[in-house]
Amino acid sequence: MHRLTLAQLAEGLRQRQFSSEELTKHYLDRIKKLDQHYNSYITVTEESALQQARQADKRLAEGGAPLLCGIPIAHKDIFCTEGVRTSCGSRMLDNFISPYNATVVENLINDGAVMLGKTNMDEFAMGSSNETSYYGPVKNPWDTNCVPGGSSGGSAAAVAAMLAVATTATDTGGSIRQPAALCGVSGLKPTYGRVSRWGMIAFASSLDQAGPIARSAEDLAIMLNSMASFDPKDSTSIDRAVPDYHTHLSTSVKGLRIGVPEEYFGEGLNPATATVIQQALKELESMGASLVNIRLPHTPLAVPAYYVIAPAECSANLSRFDGVRYGHRCDNPTDLEDLYKRSRGEGFGDEVKRRILVGTYALSAGYYDAYYRKAQQVRRLIKQDFMEAFESVDVIMGPTSPSPAFAFGAKGDDPVAMYLEDIFTIATNLAGLPGLSIPAGLVDNKPVGLQMIGNYFDEALLLNAAHQFQLQTDWHQRHPSSLEEEA
C-alpha cells in the first residue's frame, strides 16, 4: 500500500480495497520498523491516528467524503496540534503541548485526514540541511550519509522513505522546495497568503508560507485543495476564492512560455545538475512548450537581502521565548535577568542564536537604514524583476538547488556556504510568488529537482505543468535503492 500515491490510495479507500484503519496501521508499522534509520519523526501519534482512521472509515461508508478522508499524513512540527507536543525542533519548546490546532491542521482534520505524527525539522525552521534539530539530524533516504535538505527535511524524508504519503511543510527561503529536490519528491510553496499562517510558529513573518510535500504534482493538488483557505484569524491571509486544483491538471503545455533565467545557470551550479535541468526543459519543449531566455538581474542580491530581512524578523518573533510563559525555563534562576539569559541560552541552538544576533544588529539604531531598509529596497527590485519577466513568459523554470544532497558536516563550519544552498529559491519568497519543485533526474544516484515559479496565485498553472511533465517521465516514481530492495 505504501507504494501507492495519495490519489491511488484515495481511490482504493472508496473502492473498499482496504480500510483507513488498515492503511494507518500499515504506515505506523513502517515508521516503527524503518524510521530509526532516517529520524524523520519527532512524535508519532499512534493511538489518536487509529482513532481518527476509524472515524474516517465511518465517514467513507456514508459516502460523499472528501478525497483526503482516511489518508495518513504527517505534520511538520512547526504546526500547533491540540494536545500534542509542538517542538519546532528546539529544546526551547520540547515540553510545549499546544492547546489548539493551526488552521492548516484544522482544515485537514475537517477533510478526514489522519495524522501519523509530527516530523523533524531544523530548529525554528532555520537551516538548509536539517542538522540544527535538537532531536538530531534527519537522514536522506537516498543516502543516509547525506542531508535531506531543510528546514522541512523530516517532511521530505518521510515521503521519500514512504513513511507518509504526504506531509505539511513550510517554506521561508526554500524550505519546502530544497528538501523536496534533495529527497526526490514533489513540494509546493504557494503564493504568500494563500495558506493560513495561524498556528504556524513564526520564523520570518513576511516570508513564511505553508505548503505540501508529496510524491506527485497530482497529490500536491489534492493536499492544497484542503490546506488553502481564507482565514480571518490571519492578518496576512488573502480573501480570494480557492479553485479546485485537482480538476485543473489535464491541460496540455502546448504553447506554454517557459522563462529560463540566465542567472540560474552560471557560477555555483553543479554542471551535472545543469545538464539534468536542461534535459528536463528540452522534454517540456518537445511537449509543445517554448523556451524563452530571460534575465532576473537582481538574483545575486537575493541571498544577502534575505539574510538581513529573515534574521531581523526572527529576532522579533523569538523574543517571546523567554522562560516566563511557556517553553524551556532554566533551573533556579537568581533573578529575572538570569532567568532570561540562561533560559534562552540553554533553549536555543547555535544557528538560532546566530540569526537572532544578526537580526538584532540589523535593526539597531544606526544600522537600520544601512542594512534593513536597504535590504527591503533590494527586495522590491527582485519583485520587479519577476513582474517584468512575467510580461513575456507564463512560468519560470530552473534548478531548485545548486547540487544534489551533500554529506553531513560538509557545510556546517561555513554558514555562508550553507546559505548559498538556497540561492535559487530565496528570491521567490522575497517576492511572495508560488514555487514548486519536482524530481527531474539523478546525479550520482541522488535526485535533482526542477523548480517552477509562477505569477501570483498561479498554483493551478504550476501544478498542471508539473503533472503533464510527470505523465511523460518517471522520475517521481523512482525510489531509493534501499526501498526498492524491500520485500
d(CA 478, CA 474) in angstroms, rounded, equals: 7
Chain centroid, CA 103 distance in Å: 17
d(CA 57, CA 77) in angstroms, rounded, equals: 26
Q: Which residues contact 461 (CB under 8 A, 6 or more apart)?
A: 394, 395, 454
210 occurs within a structural domain:
yes
Sheet holding 186-189, edge to edge: 41-44, 114-119, 72-76, 166-171, 209-214, 186-189, 435-443, 446-454, 395-399, 257-261, 290-294
Whether 307 has a pLDDT exceeding 60, the answer reads yes
Total domains, the chain: 1
* Burial label, 319 (beta-carbon count in 10 A; 0-12, 13-18, 19+): exposed
Tell me how crowded residue 142 is: count the other CB atoms within 10 A of its CB: 26
d(CA 133, CA 240) in angstroms, rounded, equals: 36
**Is residue 484 very low, low, confident or very high in pLDDT (cuts 50, 70, 90)?**
low
Average pLDDT over residues 354-361: 94
The three grid cell numbers given for residue 487, joined into one nine-digit string: 520485500
> Tell me: the pLDDT tens digits for 241-272?
999 999 989 999 999 999 999 999 988 899 99
167 occurs within a structural domain:
yes
Q: What DSSP string runs through 40-53?
A: -EEEE-HHHHHHHH
Whether 53 has a pLDDT exceeding 80, the answer reads yes
* Burial label, 339 (beta-carbon count in 10 A; 0-12, 13-18, 19+): middle
CATH number for 81:
3.90.1300.10
Q: Would strands 257-261 and 290-294 be described as parallel, antiparallel, or unpaired?
A: parallel
267 occurs within a structural domain:
no
Is 151 designated active site? yes
Q: Give, in order, the Cα–Cα distances in Å from 401 to each of 39, 125, 273.
A: 23, 18, 9
d(CA 107, CA 169) in angstroms, rounded, equals: 15
**Is residue 159 very low, low, confident or very high in pLDDT (cuts 50, 70, 90)?**
very high
Is 76 designated active site? yes
d(CA 315, CA 298) in angstroms, rounded, equals: 26
Of the residues 76, 139, 411, 446, only one is catalytic, namely 76
262 occurs within a structural domain:
no
67 occurs within a structural domain:
yes
Q: Work out the mean pLDDT of the chain and round it to a whole number.
A: 96
Of the residues 40, 90, 133, 151, only one is catalytic, namely 151
> Tell me: the pLDDT tens digits for 24-40?
999 999 999 999 999 99
Q: Which residues contact 200 (CB under 8 A, 6 or more apart)?
A: 78, 79, 80, 102, 104, 170, 208, 210
Q: Which residues contact 254 (CB under 8 A, 6 or more apart)?
A: 287, 288, 289
> Tell me: the pLDDT tens digits for 401-450?
999 999 999 887 777 778 888 999 999 999 999 999 999 999 999 999 99
361 occurs within a structural domain:
no
Whether 487 has a pLDDT exceeding 50, the answer reads no
Is 254 designated active site? no
In degrees to the nearest 10, what's the CA dihedral of 36, 45, 164, 442? -40
Of the residues 128, 175, 237, 401, only one is catalytic, namely 175
Question: Residue 323 has what DSSP assignment?
Answer: S
Which residue range forms the structural domain that includes residue 52?
6-251+454-484
170 occurs within a structural domain:
yes
469 occurs within a structural domain:
yes
> Tell me: the pLDDT tens digits for 176-226?
999 999 999 999 999 999 999 999 999 999 999 999 999 999 999 999 999
